[in-house]
Amino acid sequence: MLYEEKPWDPIKVNPQDKKRVAYFYDSDVGNFSYGANHPMKPHRIRMAHSLIMNYGLYKKMEIYRAKPATREEMCQFHSDEYIDFLARATPDNLDLFNKEKFNVGDDCPVFDGLFEFCSISGGGSMEGAARLNRGKCDVAINYAGGLHHAKKSEASGFCYVNDIALGILELLRYHPRVLYIDIDVHHGDGVEEAFYTTDRVMTCSFHKYGEFFPGTGELHDIGVGKGKHYAVNVPLRDGIDDVTYRSIFEPLIKTIIEWYQPSAIVLQCGGDSLSGDRLGCFNLSMRGHANCVNYVKGFGIPLMIVGGGGYTIRNVARTWTFETGLINQTILGPDLPFNDYYEYYGPDYKLDVRPSNMYNANSPEYLSRILTEIYSSLEPTKHAPSVQMQPIPADIRGFDDDTAEDSKEAMDTKGGSQKNRDEIVVADNEYYDKAEDVHMVKNYSDHEKTNSNSLSESARDGNQVMPNSANSVGSTAVSSGTASITQATSLSNNETK
């Protein structure tokens, strides 16, 4: 397929098409600091939250504080040794550990509260996935997540625990195929690697490629083994603008969704692809970035939104706020409401992030060439793979037992009346169109409680990254007998990429 420039249409929403949105926020997250001169600022999540609240979006969605992810939960993807290190290392005792082994240092410093920070990020994505799984929301949002560079046994690119891989593993318990889309300016290498050898997860990353971190994400990296053709990389040059980005994003995502037929989508919304980012080199306006969110949302497939990079923090907060509005079918007005961090938004105090006049190095010829190659690689995915399912493993969060998560403790702030609608029983197999998927889908009304230990070898000694059922002690698990899941695999180590 050749590149064809589409004119820019103003972003539209349909107020009638109400989504049930679960928004995860932990008020502790803004207190963590990577260090004064480090570009990654967890504070930006608090800034976004304040703006979101002051625009009144709490009236339209349910707001939750997720249970922080435990060591055991993190070990569904990560190695025990690495998580043990994250849990025990502090700035004061770091000399006792092999820092090089886990790649901590300048980019990924060990800071006070590091493990707690990772727990908040990971917990939000896991709980978001769990709510989507049970049809309790249509969209889950976790801006503390999106840490796409984290590897099984090491930190990378300001990321320590890969909340996205954890969330996708949770989704795979119910969903035969999950699509991961990454619009951060950096390649989504940690997530790609986690699912590089499986067709259960398709990854699609749009990123700057060429003398840029992390150096991976080349056009011809398309997956291996069963995962061949199920990794898509869109290597871009500096200065891509709204029109150009949209003109490749929309047709490519449309094709992937039509061919692959995912039953859940995870969208990483890194804000470092915005114009004027401290580390990025793209030229997207807030609306160009948000158009991706709105476009993906329009397919009506259960969707998880996670954060990611973003280093000009006022612009990250602006954009994630605008996108939260779109998810709630609202186009927010241009004047920022008063909020806790109002002074950050001067001198104009407006919502928009505007593009600059930087040169767009992505020529139509270049984009035609990469699109042509991507489409030819995608050809074999035309017919979505069916999945041979095994029994769903124990839910180690205990979310299959519905009593816990709607308690007063779990509901941080109530906004509106979504909870009542949550009570509506989800129709069996609602998300599955394909006949061959139907038999393997959990029947929500037919839960049979058991502590199933049915699935999966541990992640720790091989390539397997599926939930480690040995960790399910004390949780209430569900097995319907027909619902099942196959194992996803990861590359066994980073050197293979």
Residue 269 or 351 having the CB closest to Zn ion: 269
**Cα of 244 vs its chain's centroid, Å:** 23
| CB neighbour burial string for 115-133, b if at least 16 within 10 angstroms, e if fewer | bbbbbbbbbbbbbbbbbbb
Residue 175 or 314 having the CB closest to Zn ion: 314
DSSP for residue 66:
P
User: Which residues would be at the binding site for Zn ion (CB under 5 A)?
Assistant: 184, 186, 270, 272, 309
**Which of 387, 400, 390 is CA-nearest to residue 451?**
400
In this structure, what token pair is assigned to residue 412? Answer: 């941080």
Output the smallest distance, CB 45 to Zn ion, in A: 15
Write the DSSP assignment of 317-381 as a string of letters: HHHHHHHHHHHTT----SBPPP-TTGGGGTTT-BS------------HHHHHHHHHHHHHHHGGG
Sign of the four-CA dihedral 69, 440, 138, 228: positive
> Is 186 known to sit in a ligand binding site?
yes
**Cα of 399 vs its chain's centroid, Å:** 20
Output the smallest distance, CB 185 to Zn ion, in A: 5
Instruction: Give the chain's length.
Output: 497
Cβ distance 453 to 162 under 8 Å? no
> Is 311 known to sit in a ligand binding site?
yes
Output the smallest distance, CB 161 to Zn ion, in A: 16
Place of tokens 């949105």: 21
Output the smallest distance, CB 266 to Zn ion, in A: 16
Q: Which helix (H) or strand (E) holds 231?
A: strand 231-236
Q: Which of 49, 78, 148, 149 is catalytic?
A: 149
Bridge partners of 160?
A: none
> Is 184 known to sit in a ligand binding site?
yes
Residue 176 or 280 having the CB closest to Zn ion: 280
The number of beta carbons lying within 10 Å of the beta carbon of residue 303 is 25
In this structure, what token pair is assigned to residue 187? Answer: 């390649």
Residue 159 or 265 having the CB closest to Zn ion: 159
Cβ distance 150 to 162 under 8 Å? yes
Confirm whether 149 is a catalytic residue: yes
> Is 107 known to sit in a ligand binding site?
yes
Residue 184 or 199 having the CB closest to Zn ion: 184
Output the smallest distance, CB 472 to Zn ion, in A: 34
Q: What residue is closest to Zn ion based on CB? A: 309
In this structure, what token pair is assigned to residue 434? Answer: 């394909």
Residue 159 or 336 having the CB closest to Zn ion: 159
Output the smallest distance, CB 272 to Zn ion, in A: 4
- Catalogue the active-site residues: 149
Could you list the residues known to form a binding site, using ranges: 107, 157, 184, 186, 272, 311
Could you list the residues known to form a binding site for a divalent metal cation, using ranges: 184, 186, 272
Could you list the residues known to form a binding site for substrate, using ranges: 107, 157, 311
